[in-house]
Amino acid sequence: FYAMWIPDLFMKRVEQNADWTLMCPNECPGLPDTWGEEFEKLYEKYESEGKGRKTMKAQDLWFHILESQIETGTPYILFKDAANRKSNQQNLGTIKSSNLCTEIMEYTSPDEVAVCNLGSIALPKFVSKGKFDHDKLFEVTYQLTRNLNKVIDQNYYPIPEARRSNMRHRPIGIGVQGLADAFILMRYPFDSVEAKVLNREVFETIYYASMSASKDLAKEEGPYETFAGSPISKGQFQFDLWGVKPSDRWEWDVLREEVMEHGVRNSLLLAPMPTASTAQILGNNECFEPYTSNIYT
């Protein structure tokens, strides 16, 4: 599977119908290791020095990418600057890639191979008599967070670089399966206002529960090694990085104070994965996707 790690500068050039210069990272060092304004200055410096291999219209390249996506489903697309700007691992260095399914983006280096510690929650199990049980979802997410930390501690690591990364940053990725099934049980059309509200409430509960458990683990065992300097160490939750205000269901300000005092055990918490195979075990639809057919064979 091919994927593209696209800087904001490229999309600016697309909007302006300006030129885009293709460069070799060996001939133009530093581009993979920078993002944002630093990347743009370095890129434009190499461009002005004539170090590019080829120049073409950014829109032409963009339309080739879109045509390939329509015909083949690839390349996967991620946006480099957003990935770094919104990551709790931004204090470690430039994030350069995601995993295959693009649900989690982690820092890597020559002596660290990022590891993805995943677990999914079956959302239909929390619907009873047309009501969604957020308190039960909190309990299950809390325990899943603790269990995934045990996975990190007790897992087998084929190479020392993977163990080093996992032990230092302790990322976990909690996702869901059967969101569409939960909507059906609630009698909500997938694109309804009610479904959108429930979707937001579900992930808000999962994030709050996971953060609470990670904070409690930090009280017991200490924060993860690279906690200092991270956005969460400054009291910035993921929704703060996006400029989004949560609902009043949970006590975020209290949790924020406790996190800043005690730290958290994990650098990353949520990563909604595809669940293409695991959802079949419980007969759920994949992750947060809508049904694509009334009958599956």
pLDDT in tens, 103-149: 999 999 999 999 999 999 999 999 999 999 999 999 999 999 999 99
Residue 60 pLDDT > 90, yes or no? yes
- Tell me the catalytic residues: 99, 101, 103
User: What average pLDDT does the structure give for the chain?
Assistant: 97
Q: How far apart are CA 178 and CA 124, in angstroms?
A: 6
Confidence of residue 50 (pLDDT cuts 50, 70, 90): very high
Same domain, yes or no: 55 and 119: no
Give tens-digit pLDDT for 147-184. Answer: 999 999 999 999 999 999 999 999 999 999 999 999 99
Mean pLDDT of the region 178-207: 98
Residue 138, CB-side half-sphere exposure with 13 Å CA sphere? 12
Mean pLDDT of the region 217-232: 98
Q: What pLDDT is recorded for position 294?
A: 84
Q: How far apart are the first and last CA of the chain?
A: 25
221 lies in a domain? yes
What is the pTM assigned to this prediction? 0.94
207 lies in a domain? yes
99 lies in a domain? no
Q: Which of 119, 287, 284 is nearest to 210 (CA)?
A: 119
Quote the number of domains for the chain: 2
Same domain, yes or no: 75 and 118: no
275 lies in a domain? yes
Query: For residue 49, what are the domain limits?
Result: 3-81
Same domain, yes or no: 76 and 115: no
Cis peptide, bond prior to residue 290, ω within 30 of zero: no
Same domain, yes or no: 44 and 122: no
Same domain, yes or no: 76 and 175: no
Residue 297 pLDDT > 80, yes or no? no
86 lies in a domain? no
Mean pLDDT of the region 259-278: 98
Q: Which residue has the higher pLDDT, 1 or 231?
A: 231
Q: What pLDDT is recorded for position 59?
A: 99
Same domain, yes or no: 77 and 115: no
Same domain, yes or no: 65 and 163: no
35 lies in a domain? yes
Report the DSSP beta bridge partners of residue 128. 131
Same domain, yes or no: 75 and 135: no
295 lies in a domain? no
Same domain, yes or no: 28 and 173: no
Q: What pLDDT is recorded for position 296?
A: 72
Same domain, yes or no: 152 and 237: yes
CATH number at residue 121: 3.20.70.20
Same domain, yes or no: 72 and 144: no
Q: What pLDDT is recorded for position 293?
A: 87
Contact (Cβ atoms closer than 8 angstroms) between residue 290 and residue 182: no
In DSSP notation, 236-295 reads --HHHHHT----SSS-HHHHHHHHHHH--S-S--B-----TTHHHHTTPPPTTPPPS-S-
Same domain, yes or no: 207 and 250: yes
Q: Percentage of residues in the chain with pLDDT exceeding 90?
A: 97
286 lies in a domain? no
